[in-house]
Amino acid sequence: MPDDASEPGPTEWQPATGPKVGVGPWELEHGTPAPTDAHYDPELLAEGDTRNVVDAYRYWTREAIVADLDTRRHPFHVAIENFAHDANIGTVVRTANAFAAAAVHIVGRRRWNRRGAMVTDRYQHLMHHETVSDLLAWARVAGLSVVAVDNTPGARPLETVELPRECVLLFGQEGPGVSDDAQAQADLTVSIAQFGSTRSINAGVAAGIAMHSWVRQHADLGSAW
């Protein structure tokens, strides 16, 4: 997998068969001359927009979308450990983008599989930290609480905890979970209630549940698309 965000993503190609994705050229869609506002992309206006973006951002340049998202982002961050090249990171990035996280932090290996992100990494701020200690030092300077999410002894139930508004939600790798070092230094560890036979759930799923818990507690739902 290329690790280059400039390469076309899987949702930015029209399918060979089946229904078309997105919208066609502006004049064909609207029956009016294409607008000339600076946030519009002349090429997209002329050829159509098949990207994986909400309708409000159709025909916008990538830079304009990121700038507008920066006015909407929430004050929570997401971090995921990547010491074993976890394939869940793309899913975490995609979900973080959907919930307008301030940034996603990759801890450990810099390279990760972007396919699961479905091109949303182009619109999401990403930061890299070599170690958990580096991440936690950054969080302390930024004034953010660090909340580890893992089903370990002593963890508080996510369903009953009031998450800090300004925080970093920290997730471990698939299998081992949050590292011992991360749990030892985190301000809080929370667990997700489970009722079946498995001892853990997918890291990408856990991240989505925790992010949505933050949204339910702190987000202005009136600003959702």
Model pLDDT for residues 126-160, shown as the tens digit of each residue: 999 999 999 999 999 999 999 999 999 999 999 99
Residues 6+ apart with CB under 8 A from 191: 149, 150, 151, 152, 155, 156, 157, 158
At residue 84, the pLDDT reads 79
Tell me the percentage of the chain whose pLDDT exceeds 70. Answer: 90
Q: Give the confidence band of 7 by pLDDT, cuts at 50, 70, 90.
A: very low
CATH 3.40.718.10 fits 72-223, yes or no: no
Backbone CA torsion sign across 115, 116, 122, 128: negative
- Output the CA angle 188-114-94, nearest 5 degrees: 55
Residue 105 in tokens: 């932090």
For tokens 């004034």, the residue is: 143
pTM over 0.85: yes
- On whether the CB atoms of residues 124 and 98 are closer than 8 A, the answer is no
At residue 86, the pLDDT reads 67
Residue 139 in tokens: 């969080």
At residue 128, the pLDDT reads 97
Using alpha carbons, list the distances in angstroms from residue 165 to 28, 128, 170, 201.
45, 22, 14, 25
What mean pLDDT, rounded, does the chain reach?
A: 91
At residue 5, the pLDDT reads 46
- With 80 as the cut, is the pLDDT of residue 76 above it? yes
Pick the more confident residue, 177 or 19. Answer: 177
For tokens 């609207």, the residue is: 30
Q: Which SS3 state, helix, strand or coil, does residue 225 take?
A: coil
Any bridge partners for residue 76, and if so which? 167
Domain layout of the chain by residue ranges? 26-69, 72-223
- With 60 as the cut, is the pLDDT of residue 8 above it? no
* CA dihedral of 113, 101, 69, 67, whole degrees rounded to 10: -70
Pick the more confident residue, 97 or 113. Answer: 97
At residue 12, the pLDDT reads 55
At residue 17, the pLDDT reads 62
